[in-house]
Chain A
Amino acid sequence: MGILQRITRNIDNRYWDPGLIGFPVKNSYTAGVAGQRFFEEIKENGRIFGSKCAGCDLTYVPARIYCERCLSGLEEKDWVDVGDEGTVYAYTEVHQTKSGEAKEKPSLIAAVKIADGLLIHRLGDCLPEAVHIGMPVKAEFKPKNERQGGIEDIKYFKPF
């Protein structure tokens, strides 16, 4: 067996750049039937919607077109405005970039509980030492003219 390169310390095995092999195709994604409506509401009205399965008494955030527990279809009548406030369910402070370099400033990421769902998002206007599980947070939307209809239309969640 010929060895072209041997990495003897795992830490030297940093990252792999897919650009190097010139992969020719990209993917583009649709937000889906539920996602389309969910992001339209954020973009146009600054409102976060969930969908409620009455049978399972469960409100999904982001909204979906079906309940994963009973596979009932969730329709227009099942959509609920869940408000723009939630609580920190779990959080992390990220110190490295995706390629493993130290970040200039660590960033805060949280799983924000809204109704029965969790939205993964950034925390802002918030000192790292102040963050705690159970902390009430509120969505900070971008100004309406800057919203694109995506998850980053919410800039971050901040304590209030």
Chain B
Amino acid sequence: MRKVAIVGAGMTKFVRRALETPKELSFQATKTTLDSCGLTLDDVDCVAHGTAPDAFDGLHQNGEYMVDGCGGWNKPTMRVYVGGGTGIHAIAHGWHHVASGLFDTCLVVCEEKMSSAMPHAQAFFLTIFDSITERALEPNLLWIFALEMNRYMERYGYSKEDMALVAVNNKLNGLKHPASQFTDQVTVEDVVNSEMMAYPVSRLDVSPVSDGAAAVLLASERVARRLTDKPVWIEGVGWSLDTAYWATRDLYYPRYTDTAARMAYEMAGIREPAKQINIAEPYDPFDYKALHHMEGLQLSPRGKTVELLRDGHFDRDGNLPMCPSGGLLGVGNPIAAAGTMKVCELFWQLRGEADERQVPGNPQLGVAQSWGDLMQVSSVVVVGI
């Protein structure tokens, strides 16, 4: 396998309701990415793009529909779709294209426009659950995650205030992100007292519904070294799917993340992730999920994560900054694009280009993770400079 670097990144603003069509959002992210590294479409060999459920954009074959906005006109393109895991799965997918030697450059573009779902994107989730045993109970993601959050908190004795601290930190980080859809700072009290949706999930424990797109450009070593003196190398990729059957899962431990992370770390030659990784961007659609994933990513001992969080270990100037971008809670959650946004963040952080959000101390190694499908996929990428 050849070395692969990220050489450019770009994204749209994340918003609640965009006028732009999915194609137009894709175009904006793609164009910004090409401009960021001074390339044109002629320099792009192939496209690996992703969107999560077609239902959100309301377009069956959404991947095919988006192609021209992603710069895929008349080029080899392949869409990835693993629900919320898509944004980083697409990076692994693009990595294959270049690492295999088949292509020298690959545009990775992920987009989601959730506002087309009426009255709310949440209701589409009804059809992802088992049609015989579960659908009759009218499940939605909120109460399914409420079960997981409840089990996780109970297992380690965490409180709602503990979980709320993640939402507060991430939203605070997000205020420094120019693409964030938020403008207000929130407190632990705000989160805990926000509208109860499905115990223990309150409204501010959850990331918002968003529209947006994000992209990166991948290049082989030869091309990357010609383009930039600061390529960000993809050191490892990993992904894994657990069973979709809830009854055989722990709920309090994301085994799928564990497996995916170990695969990526092995490829990257990382033996002690908690010591070696400088920045973590775990997937945080819910506040508890960031901590849940930190444990799965081997970046925090099980059951000790809240203690580390309260000690400032995961702050921007802590030992292992967590979600310096603001994450999904702080920037927004256009499903597939949210994962790619995390990789964009690592790209900017490792190059020292994250402006107000910059993690101090010249970080060298970062990990980003996304999660989704039937709540059982994790995709992990390790990048370094």
Residue positions of A touching B, CB distance < 8 A: 23-36, 65-66, 68-71, 73
Are A25 and B124 neighbours in the complex by a CB distance under 8 Å? yes
Interfacial chain A residues near B58, Cβ < 8 Å: 27-29
Contacts A66-B31, A70-B41, A73-B31 given; indicate if A25 touches B19 (C-beta within 8 A): no
In the complex, what's the smallest C-beta–C-beta distance from B183 to chain A, in angstroms?
A: 23
Are A32 and B21 neighbours in the complex by a CB distance under 8 Å? yes
Asked if B127 lies at the interface with its beta carbon under 8 angstroms from chain A, I say: yes
- Chain B, Cβ-Cβ closest to A25: B123
Are A71 and B27 neighbours in the complex by a CB distance under 8 Å? yes
Interfacial chain A residues near B23, Cβ < 8 Å: 32
Tell me if B's interface is mostly helix, strand, loop or mixed.
helix
In the complex, what's the smallest C-beta–C-beta distance from B17 to chain A, in angstroms?
A: 8
In the complex, what's the smallest C-beta–C-beta distance from A39 to chain B, in angstroms?
A: 12
Interfacial chain A residues near B105, Cβ < 8 Å: none
Residue positions of B touching A, CB distance < 8 A: 17-21, 23-24, 27, 30-31, 34, 40-42, 55, 57-58, 68-69, 71, 73-74, 116-121, 123-124, 126-127
Are B21 and A71 neighbours in the complex by a CB distance under 8 Å? no
Tell me if A's interface is mostly helix, strand, loop or mixed.
loop
Are B20 and A30 neighbours in the complex by a CB distance under 8 Å? yes
Complex-state Cα separation, A61 to B311, whole angstroms: 59
Of the candidates A31, A35, A66, the one whose C-beta lies within 8 Å of that of B69 is A66
Are B21 and A24 neighbours in the complex by a CB distance under 8 Å? no
Contacts A30-B21, A71-B27 given; indicate if A23 touches B127 (C-beta within 8 A): yes
Complex-state Cα separation, A27 to B118, whole angstroms: 5
Interfacial chain B residues near A34, Cβ < 8 Å: 24
Interfacial chain B residues near A69, Cβ < 8 Å: 41, 73-74
Can you add 14 more A-B contacts, CB < 8 Å, to A28-B58, A28-B116, A32-B19? A27-B55, A29-B21, A30-B17, A30-B20, A30-B21, A32-B20, A32-B21, A33-B19, A36-B19, A65-B24, A65-B27, A69-B73, A70-B41, A71-B27
Are A24 and B126 neighbours in the complex by a CB distance under 8 Å? yes
Complex-state Cα separation, A29 to B119, whole angstroms: 12
Contacts A25-B118, A27-B117, A65-B27 given; indicate if A71 touches B20 (C-beta within 8 A): no
Complex-state Cα separation, A104 to B121, whole angstroms: 39
- Chain A, Cβ-Cβ closest to B30: A71
Are B73 and A29 neighbours in the complex by a CB distance under 8 Å? no
Interfacial chain A residues near B24, Cβ < 8 Å: 32-34, 65-66
Are B27 and A66 neighbours in the complex by a CB distance under 8 Å? yes
Of the candidates B31, B68, B123, the one whose C-beta lies within 8 Å of that of A24 is B123
In the complex, what's the smallest C-beta–C-beta distance from B301 to chain A, in angstroms?
A: 41
- Chain A, Cβ-Cβ closest to B18: A30
Are B31 and A71 neighbours in the complex by a CB distance under 8 Å? yes
